[in-house]
Amino acid sequence: MAALTPISRKPMSLVLPTIAAAGGFLGIFVGASNGSTLMGLVIGAVVVAALGLFFIGVLKNEQLSKWISIVLVAVAGFVLGGIPGFILGAIFGWFFHWFTYWLYEGRYRARLLPYLTPGQVLWHYSFLVICGAIFVFLITPILVVMPLSFNAQDFFTFTPEMLRFDPEGYSLKHYRDFFTNNEWQRSFKNSLLIAPIATVISVSLGTLAAIGLSQSHVPGRRAIMAILISPMIVPLIISATGMFFFYSDIGNWLEGTLGLPKTFVGYVKVVLAHAVLGIPFVIITVTATLVGFDRSLTRAAANMGANPVTTFFRVQMPLILPGVISGGLFAFITSFDEVVVVLFIGSASQKTLPWQMFTGLREQISPTILAVATILVVISIALLTTVELLRRRSERLRGMSPS
C-alpha cells in the first residue's frame, strides 16, 4: 500500500521512553534467567535508550547503526546464553534498531489514515499485536512438532544439544523407526487402503445425490439434507456407539451366514463406516459448487442431441470437478484422520495410523509419533494447497474473480 500520510520525525521525548520501556520489558526476562529481575529491567531500559540516543543523535547513519546494533546485542547474547543467545540477540538487535527508527522517523503513521488520533494509532498497533499472538497460538503447536521429530534422544522436548544446534542432537532415527517398524507400517498401509476406498464410495454416491438435490423441485429437500448431513453433526462417540452394536451384528451375519473371511469383513465394516462419515463433506462442497452452475448449459447440450449421460460427463462434470475433488479430499482426510469409530468397530488387523498414534500417546510414549505427525503435517499442507488451487480454479470457471 502506498503511503497515506506524509511522515515527519518525532521528538525524542516520545521515542526514548518507548524504546526504553521495550528494552526494559525484554530485560526482565534476561535478568530473571540471570538472577535479578530488577537489575535486568533497569539495565535493559538504559542500554536500549542509550543506543537509541547514540544512533539518532551522534551516528546519524541508519545502515551503519543497524549493523552495530545487531552485532552488539548478539555478542551480549552470546556471553549470556551461548549460541541460542547469539541468535536471539541478533534478532533482538535488529528489532530494536528497526523499532527505534520506525518511531523516530514516524514511519508507523505512513500507512494509516491521516485523521487518526494518537490513541487510535496505538490501538491499531496493539490490535495487530493481539492478532499476531492468536496466529502464533494457532500455528506454534504444529511448528514445534517438526524440529522435535529430529530429536536424537527419546525425549518429547528440546535437549541442550538441539538448542546448541549441535548436529549430534539431531537424527533421523524416529523416521527410520517409522519406516522399519512393522506395527507402524501395517497401520500406515491400512490407512492407505481404507481411506481411498471409503472416499470413492462417498464421492460417487455423494455427487449423484448432490446433483439430485440441486434440481429445482425436490420433495422434502430440507429433511433429506438434514439426514445426509447428520453424520457430521452427530458426535463421533454416538455414531461409534451406534455402529458398534450394528456392525457387530452385521459382521456376525456376514461371517456366519455367508462364510466370508474375518479380515475381509472387518475391512468392509470400517470402509462403510468411514464412507458414511465422509458423505456430508462431499454433499456440502458439491452442492456449493452446483449453486453457481449454469443450468442452461445442460439444456444447450440436450438441445444439440446429447443424452443425459453424455451431458453429465462432457458438460457438467468438468465444470463441477473442482468441487467434487475438494469434497473428495475432505472425505479422504476424514477417513484418514478418523480414530473413534475404527477404535470401536475395527479389530487389531484393521489398525489404522491414527489408532496406532492414539495407543502410542496413551500407553508407550514413543517419539516416533512426532515423526509420523510431521509426515502427516506435510501431507495436510499438500492437501490444503490442492484444495486452495481447486477453489480458485472453480471460481475462475464460474466467472468470479478469485479472492
Q: How far is the CB of 283 from another protein (least distance, A)?
A: 8
Nearer to another protein, 56 or 387 (CB): 387
Nearer Cβ to another protein (29/264): 29
Question: 66 or 392: whose CB is closer to another protein?
Answer: 392
Q: Taking CA 332 as the corner, what is the angle to CA 147 and CA 183, rounded to the nearest 5 degrees?
A: 55
Nearest-approach distance from CB 5 to another protein, in angstroms: 17
Q: For another protein, which is the closer residue by CB, 70 or 195? A: 195
Contact 313, 301 (CB under 8 A): no
Categorise residue 82: left if φ over 0, alpha if ψ from -120 to 50, beta otherwise: left
Q: Of 93, 89, 87, nearest to 165 (Cα)?
A: 87
Nearest distance, CB of residue 229 and another protein, angstroms? 5
Output 54 or 155, the one with its CB closest to another protein: 155
Enclosing H/E stretch for 330: helix 317-336
Q: In angstroms, rounded to a whole number, what is the distance separating the alpha carbons of residues 371 and 147?
A: 9
Cell of 346: 475395527
Nearer to another protein, 5 or 37 (CB): 37
**Contacts of 333 by beta carbon, 8 Å cutoff, 6+ apart:** 380, 383
Length of the chain: 403
Dist CA 302 CA 304 (whole Å) = 5
Looking up cell 458398534, which residue turns up? 244
Cell numbers given for 152: 536424537
Q: First and final CA of the chain: distance in angstroms? A: 18
**What minimum distance in Å lies between the beta carbon of 17 and another protein?**
24
Q: Which helix (H) or strand (E) holds 39?
A: helix 37-53
Q: For residues 237 and 341, what is the distance between their CA atoms, to the nearest angstrom?
A: 7
| Cell numbers linked to 166 | 549441535
Output the smallest distance, CB 245 to another protein, in A.
6
Of 50 and 218, CB closest to another protein = 218
Instruction: Output 100 or 149, the one with its CB closest to another protein.
Output: 149
Q: Which is nearer to another protein, 64 or 131 (CB)?
A: 131
Spell out the alpha helix ranges (H) of 214-316.
Answer: 221-233, 236-256, 262-291, 296-303, 308-311
Residues 6 or more apart from 357 whose CB is under 8 A from it?
339, 369, 372, 373
> What are the residues facing 226 on neighbouring strands?
none
What the block records as the C-alpha cell of 362 is 496413551
Smallest distance, another protein to C-beta of residue 320, A: 14
Nearer CB in complex with another protein: 103/148: 148
Smallest distance from another protein to CB 375, Å: 9
Rounded Cα distance, 160 and 338, in Å: 36
Min dist. Cβ of residue 271 to another protein (A): 10
Q: Nearer to another protein by C-beta: 61 or 120?
A: 120
C-alpha angle 277-205-261 in degrees, rounded to nearest 5: 70
Q: Smallest distance from the beta carbon of 27 to another protein, in angstroms? A: 12
Residue 108 beta carbon to another protein: minimum distance, rounded to whole angstroms: 17
Query: Which amino acid type is present at position 264?
Result: F
Q: How far is the CB of 333 from another protein (least distance, A)?
A: 7
